[in-house]
Structure 1
Amino acid sequence: MATSEQAASTGLLGARRHSLVAQIRAAIVNGQYASGDLLSEVSLSTLYNVSRTPVREALKQLQTEGLVEVRPRVGTFVRRPTHREVAELFELKEALEGLAAKLLARRGHVVEIDALMKNLSQTEEAVEADDEESQARLISEFHNLLVDGADNTKLREHYRRLMNQLTYMPLVRTTLSHQGRPTASLNEHRAVLEFIVAKDSHGAEWAMRNHVAASAAEVLSAERPTRES
């Protein structure tokens, strides 16, 4: 039977492993590590001040999540989704975010709506200043606020997993360089919020799905198709 000290030690190790997985995952999702980058166990163990064993375990977890791929006798690399996978992930994104907008519109005036209004104001300033990095951060924040505002735990769980696989932030940064896209995206966000504030759940879902479809078209036009497996 495990002692209280052993149980505490096991719990601490588990928490550290979870934290390491979360840190590496965030670095991939935010674009700190780009698609195709080598994730060296030695470099990661030095960076995060841990031994190679927890790094190896963390990379195995991220492999199951579809974020990295292991090439035997070569190493572990940040996985690049195929063109088809990106298209399919955006189809799911459209469905989930459309549902989130619909659910939020039904809730009435909740704190997330105030946060979304503030977000739009800040995004407008970022667009006027041509600050693409702030725009990318605020766009991601808008979508996360929308999903949080839906107040559906399972929706949030599936959405987070989807966004991790999509590695969304680098894609947003790419589309913001397209002529006219920053202003178009801002206007699409504004339309979504107007329907939500008006408690028009069907209009909110329609506007959100249209916005995601427009984003998908921008991303896929910039993505060079890879193997379709």
Structure 2
Amino acid sequence: MKEEQAYKHIKNLIIQGKFTMKEAISINQLADQMDMSRTPVHRALAQLEREGYITITPQVGVFVRRPEHKEILERLQLCVAIDVFLAEQAARSITEFQLEELIGVLEKMETPELAAELYEELNVKFHTIICRAANNDFAFRANKINWDYLNYVNISDELFKGGNREQSQAEHRMIYYALKDRDSKLTELLMKKHLMRVAQFIIEKYERINA
């Protein structure tokens, strides 16, 4: 579908920093690049505006936007709440195959000298396995949109280095064993504690960057 193709292409350009906040995004240029009409480009931009990546001002233009502190906080609160809910559900329905996937990811995450960007990729995979194990596709898809956006606005290298990484590894191990024991309450508690720490880190980092 051309609209989805346009959405993914433009979103990747934004994430890669191809547009500055002062630079108007050319709809005609995007349409030419993707060899399609302006209609799917307009629809893709409308979706990206709903997700918070851009601002569309009639007679002025389309611009990449930086979110308000309040928006980041609200998105984080929602993400944590949904992920905690999904983790609690996953403890009831996770399969042996998914548990094997989790331990495999954990072992890779504990590889010495693993680059921060690779650790971050594995971290996303770890949480994705858990969320999918809850068998609630609607909640998973809704939260992925928010986490994608938070990852876009946040520079998170420091979260996966030194003592922060060691704490992350320990927390992931505890979450894994709670899931393995099918202990939904403990899984819920551990995931909430883990994600609240991550949320606080993101908020503080965002405040420093935009001070």
Establish whether TM, by shorter chain, passes 0.5.
yes
RMSD across aligned positions (CA): 2.7
SS, match of residue 95 in structure 1:
helix
Provide the residue aligned with 2:140 in structure 1: 156
Q: Which runs of 5+ in 1 are unaligned?
A: 1-14
Conserved 8 A contact 2:13-2:19: no
Q: Which has the higher contact order (CA 8 A, sep 6+)?
A: 1
Verify: 1:96 aligned to 2:96, yes or no: no
In the alignment, the residues of structure 2 paired with residue 97 and residue 35 of structure 1 have an alpha-carbon distance, to the nearest angstrom, of 31
Verify: 1:135 aligned to 2:119, yes or no: yes
Alpha carbons of 1:172 and 1:214: their partners in 2 closer, same or farther (altered >3 Å)?
farther
Offset of residue 100 of structure 1: 1.2
Matches within 5 A, 1:1-229: 15-28=1-14, 31-33=15-17, 37=21, 38=23, 39-125=25-111, 128-164=112-148, 166-168=149-151, 171=154, 173-176=156-159, 179-224=162-207
Letter in 2 for 1:144: T
Alpha carbons of 1:134 and 1:151: their partners in 2 closer, same or farther (altered >3 Å)?
same
In the alignment, the residues of structure 2 paired with residue 99 and residue 34 of structure 1 have an alpha-carbon distance, to the nearest angstrom, of 36
Alpha carbons of 1:27 and 1:156: their partners in 2 closer, same or farther (altered >3 Å)?
farther
Conserved 8 A contact 2:159-2:201: no
Offset of residue 27 of structure 1: 5.0
Q: Which runs of 5+ in 2 are unaligned?
A: none
Count of residues paired in the alignment? 208
Conserved 8 A contact 1:33-1:78: no
In the alignment, the residues of structure 2 paired with residue 59 and residue 144 of structure 1 have an alpha-carbon distance, to the nearest angstrom, of 27
Letter in 1 for 2:117: E
Conserved 8 A contact 2:171-2:194: yes
Percentage of identical aligned residues: 25
In the alignment, the residues of structure 1 paired with residue 192 and residue 150 of structure 2 have an alpha-carbon distance, to the nearest angstrom, of 19
Conserved 8 A contact 1:98-1:209: yes
Conserved 8 A contact 1:68-1:76: yes
SS, match of residue 110 in structure 2:
helix
Alpha carbons of 1:100 and 1:218: their partners in 2 closer, same or farther (altered >3 Å)?
same
Alpha carbons of 1:159 and 1:21: their partners in 2 closer, same or farther (altered >3 Å)?
same
Letter in 2 for 1:91: Q
